[in-house]
Structure 1
């Protein structure tokens, strides 16, 4: 069942990928219009039912989304063109999505193992209760039970009640509560395991981001490379892996996401990549933030819309099938159990596959922006003029409508020799660390 739903999720993700590669602007527009429409319908429904405050809030959200959508058409066009190139690159290298899915599975396994280990450590280091015979009990298996005091004449009981200590089915004390010995502070254990899970997940995600960035750069500069994903993954886990291990030691800001792209593309260490990203941010910061905001919000709304539609469809199918087979005799608990099974086996695999694909596209889009700033002509030389014209035309439109955001010309930094994308984890570090953005 899970395998089947993973296959379904893979199919849905591939359909979304092909759709974004063919109609990126229309899909982003549909996401924004649909989101604004939902809030508009909610405002109308609230107003119809006389809930004025909710109606005003929903109408305000609808108006804000519509205003953002209307005022950022040029940025939406550039973001869509950027996203189209990323989708084309990822579509030609499905290994990036397979790697991201594998890393997602590793994250799930690591989280489950960490949860089990955390529970074991809580049990091992929890306060202890010592019985009269010297037997020790963990506080997790002990509890205080209220016991009424001895009754007097007439069967009445005293107003007060005592406590008895019960551990592991044994009565440790019948006239007092449990006395716990001091244990290891649980907040320290909780902080340790939470930090461990967060750190490992961040490292795995950065590895995926760097791998996708390196793969997209290979597609951009050397489309004939058949080992692009393997080479990018090697650089992310070998020559630059220490950068991710030291990530939380360094100063991390908004540009760190682009620094990971520089690591994946050029094989730099994190400090040098962060400097390159800050240089890029100083010159193209407004465009970077606006592009990220418009496209990321659009992809998020698209994901939420499609997943919500999928949930409604599956819910309706399950409900109608239960009504047809059992009539109105099924209980709420049975329906809750069946829907829990549906969520676990039908929704989660599809949601993971789809969200992972969107995450790969977000990483690929950042890599496309970096490559476009570094060497835009390589796109025209290796992948035809149509894609290049769409991207450069959208860039020129941003400059026309938002003067001062970028220079008057297409961003271009002359590169004497395009990087060798096959064997470049040493080559990039020596020949491409001095490029200015």
Structure 2
């Protein structure tokens, strides 16, 4: 039986942050939770589990409230990641609920939702086939911004004209076109307003790099703090947009055109490094306080004001280890039985250790069976005893050695003539003591 996530917790003990990435913002929130007197819990792939027992849903790590910091726009498995956040919501209050994030994830759909709420957004057009997409100039007669429907940081956006051939896809992902709003007064810019719990933490103007029109900080844009100068209208729009989409935390991008403000985008997992650089205010303690209060705890305003002037992005003690220590004797033999996992399957095999090999390599057939990947590059390897070089693909695989999991970037090669399908190189062996007298039998 599930626990109603709306129930009040009398005392917050553990504040979880769901984040599989290593951003400064995630670390800063966790560190702020610790300073405010609560226990931070970093929930990642390395430590999260769930089970259903006698009708009760159990989750580990257990937390009293969860901050959803998953970067869904950069995920290859957005639905799966959304469901992880939704799984926690079955038993735990979640800051930035999965449904609210889903409202925001698809940029065109978010714009439509804001438009239905009578909030000012640029005109836009969306189609899913080449035939329907080519009709966009009927609705947007001037230049338009061509964007991913799901994406971030302004990458691969472009300005298109009505006479340009435009695809409904960008790098095999769906796209849309949006009215290109341009302030003719000087350098292209917009305003990012950061909203936490219905209150504005800060605002900054973002300027595009020289020769560009995109204002994203990740692309090299400059920022300046404008919190104090921000008028009532943009403040109200930022709060209303966040509320319409159901978000607790949001970065709202606004632009004034001829005295009227427009909502360009709303970001559910907006970074705040740039905001701190521009304003000297960190959103981390504000987010931490919102989570603590959501679960029934309390934080003094004076503590927040003291903490917001710093952004502590040091690695918190609560970061889960990448490997398990239990059962690891730190010794590998000349041959060792291991488990190897890919995207499509797993196998238990016997591998050989070779300190003469710089990198671990796996057999082509084995890589195909387990779905080794993704492809992360190539490497040049000397072929035999001659001077010829062989180009090998590099893939990520998970290995379990002596009960300890680790991710290895291995090369793929034909080892069908070899006894062992995997050769452990120095990239793995450097973390172990090698005992060549130790072997395992088939």
TM-score range, shorter chain: under 0.3
Higher helix share: 1
Which TM-score applies when normalising by structure 2? 0.22
Which TM-score applies when normalising by structure 1? 0.22
The structure with the largest alpha-carbon Rg is 1
Higher strand share: 2
**Larger RCO: 1 or 2 (CA < 8 Å, sep 6+):** 1
